[in-house]
Amino acid sequence: MIKVTVLGRASAKPTVTSHPSAQIVNVNEQYYLVDAGEGTQQQMFRRGINPLKLRAVFISHLHGDHVFGLFPMLSTMGLCGRQTPLKVFAPRPFGEMLEFHLKYFDEALPYEVEWVEVDTTKHCCIFENRTLEVWTIPLRHKIPCAGFLFKEKMPELNVHKFKIEKYSLSIAQIVAAKRGEDVVLEDGTVVKNSELTYLPFEPRSYAYLSDTSRSAMAAKRVKGVSLLYHEATYTKEFAKDAKARGHSTAADAAAVAVAAEAERLIIGHFSSRYKSPEVLLAEAKEIFENTQLAEEGETYTV
Amino acid sequence: MIKVTVLGRASAKPTVTSHPSAQIVNVNEQYYLVDAGEGTQQQMFRRGINPLKLRAVFISHLHGDHVFGLFPMLSTMGLCGRQTPLKVFAPRPFGEMLEFHLKYFDEALPYEVEWVEVDTTKHCCIFENRTLEVWTIPLRHKIPCAGFLFKEKMPELNVHKFKIEKYSLSIAQIVAAKRGEDVVLEDGTVVKNSELTYLPFEPRSYAYLSDTSRSAMAAKRVKGVSLLYHEATYTKEFAKDAKARGHSTAADAAAVAVAAEAERLIIGHFSSRYKSPEVLLAEAKEIFENTQLAEEGETYTV
């Protein structure tokens, strides 16, 4: 199961009610932070999410509204006595920023922060564990920027109980079937794996695409995604500005969801010019019906 | 008139409801920011205070919880098209931090940020205009740290209307009296200035003392202050920790208020161990009755 908690949906500058970009992606109770605008740690506290739980951090690009909140949180985790190393996946020159922060603010940090450089030009798997893969999605922004695709791995096959009885399968035969192999019975008959097994669930996926101009290539790379978050900074009347600034309109976001054949779309990263983002939602829904606004503090379950 | 708006009262790390140190000091509708913990700009927006209004920033010391919020705000003012230069008074090595920030996040800032180095070992006037002086107050913390004393200048004398009529004073004589001079009438009699004039108001003052261990010298230097803000991180049961960490107890803060013969005391910078700071207030009030808790968003008028 993947749960995405939106901590911020503002672009560039915060407003009275709205924070810059940050999200928590919870995959089978393992927590990952995606981008970290100012106020991220406090937004996490408000949702009862302890930064000490974080397994890794993924930073899409190094504009302040996506990273200013990381450094104060690194300090806080130090004050809280974190000892587990923390991997931060981010593009260059994050290493220099981290070095600077540690030198001036956290010389005695009790845990290691390990920077893993993200090549924003490549589509590849940068993180993997037993149940999850995280892939980079090159984006089109003013500075090097990559989105992230969280993909559950194919679960192990289950063997139908009634087949176990029908063929009185041995432990060894069940294990083989779970591995996807056909089973040869004592009398020599071969039972096809497809007859014995089933998938306990379809692997789910979540794609985070911000900040970016509309990208057909990005859509291709998240094809069939269960839940797509796409930035929608402007309405289409500002399409020119959006393109010039490496951003998207709500219509762009919806078009990417259509091209990607996404199941659901969430839009965010709203310009502060929109007192209410309903106009952005309406624009997107015209093109992709299953669209929701990112709401700060809301959790979206896949 | 001096108005102090508290934006944060948390020590070290923020909590769900509480922000790190930051205050707006408004002297005759000129706005100054004192310290800038994470979230300062959003806290200002919430109080309807526009960062573009800031005349200057005063940073007491370079622990993250007093400065992390400044850099995002510098970026926001750039996005808002600020052109007025901004002076930032702060100790070393703020210059390097500023340089780093500008290089990585704000290369094209449309206004100049001018760092003025604060010597935290000296008690001197670092800022002055027609109505205000700001003085440094050396403090006792783990790193170089100075508090700030905001002092209204002595206002120009007013001349009693009835004296003007009684002696039918000329414009020249009135101006001389306003300057504090005695006046010589046509018949040669000298009228003492004290008989002719009065102070329109007593100059007011505000002292910000955070972060620091209890300091008798600091108390001396803010003698007679109208409003004193003093940190009170702990209750006295943690007096040892307070001292070791360069902090104060609520009792310390109150003792400084007594020694300084302050009119009023506000305490803040509360450790997150205190779910409710009432216990700190009670401890301070035992020693200095006219004590209040710093409340985020509250404005204290002198």
- Sequence-distant (≥ 6) Cβ neighbours of residue B16 within 8 angstroms: A42, A45, A46
B292 CA to chain A: closest CA distance, Å?
A: 25
Q: Of A71, A163, A108, which is closest to residue B72 (Cα–Cα)?
A: A71
| Structure confidence at residue B98 (pLDDT) | 98
Ranges in chain B, pLDDT < 70: none
In percent, how much of chain A has pLDDT > 90? Answer: 100
User: Which of A198, A223, A258 is the last residue before a domain boundary?
Assistant: A198
User: Which of B143, B177, B198 is the last residue before a domain boundary?
Assistant: B198
**B46 interaction partners in chain A (CB closer than 8 Å):** 16
CATH of the domain at A34: 3.60.15.10
Q: Are residues A216 and A122 in the same domain?
A: yes
Q: Which among B62, B65, B72 is the nearest to A64, CB-wise?
A: B72
Q: Are residues B163 and B255 in the same domain?
A: no
Q: Are residues A149 and A293 in the same domain?
A: yes
Q: Are residues A175 and A230 in the same domain?
A: no
Residue B40 near residue B16, CB atoms below 8 Å: no
Q: A18: pLDDT confidence band, cut at 50, 70 and 90?
A: very high
| Structure confidence at residue A96 (pLDDT) | 98
| Structure confidence at residue B135 (pLDDT) | 98
pTM, two decimals, is: 0.94
| Structure confidence at residue A140 (pLDDT) | 98
Q: Are residues A181 and A245 in the same domain?
A: no
**A16 interaction partners in chain B (CB closer than 8 Å):** 42, 45-46
Across the interface, whether the CB atoms of A79 and B12 are under 8 A apart is answered: yes
Q: Are residues A212 and A258 in the same domain?
A: yes
pLDDT, tens digit, for every residue of A228-278?
999 999 999 999 999 999 999 999 999 999 999 999 999 999 999 999 999
Q: A75: pLDDT confidence band, cut at 50, 70 and 90?
A: very high
| Structure confidence at residue A28 (pLDDT) | 93
Q: Are residues B81 and B164 in the same domain?
A: no
Domain ranges, residue B181 = 158-198
Catalytic entry in B35, B65, B211, B252: B65
| Structure confidence at residue B257 (pLDDT) | 98
Q: Are residues A109 and A139 in the same domain?
A: yes
Tokens of B107: 């290369």
Alpha carbon B100 to chain centroid, angstroms: 27
Size of interface A-B (CB pairs under 8 A): 80
- Using the Cβ of A62 and the Cβ atoms of chain B, whether some distance falls under 8 Å is answered with yes
| Structure confidence at residue A68 (pLDDT) | 98
Q: Of A108, A109, B276, which is closest to residue A88 (Cα–Cα)?
A: A109
Q: Are residues A70 and A142 in the same domain?
A: yes
Give the A window 97-136 contacts with B, CB below 8 Å: 97, 100, 104-106
CA distances B165 to B168, B197, B298, Å, are 5, 13, 46
Q: Are residues B249 and B218 in the same domain?
A: yes
| Structure confidence at residue B260 (pLDDT) | 98
Residue A24: Cβ-neighbour burial (10 angstroms; 0-12, 13-18, 19+): buried
Across the interface, whether the CB atoms of B42 and A38 are under 8 A apart is answered: yes
- Using the Cβ of A95 and the Cβ atoms of chain B, whether some distance falls under 8 Å is answered with no
Tokens of B301: 């008028």
| Structure confidence at residue A111 (pLDDT) | 98
| Structure confidence at residue B53 (pLDDT) | 97
Domain count of chain A?
A: 2
| Structure confidence at residue A70 (pLDDT) | 98
Q: Are residues A176 and A255 in the same domain?
A: no
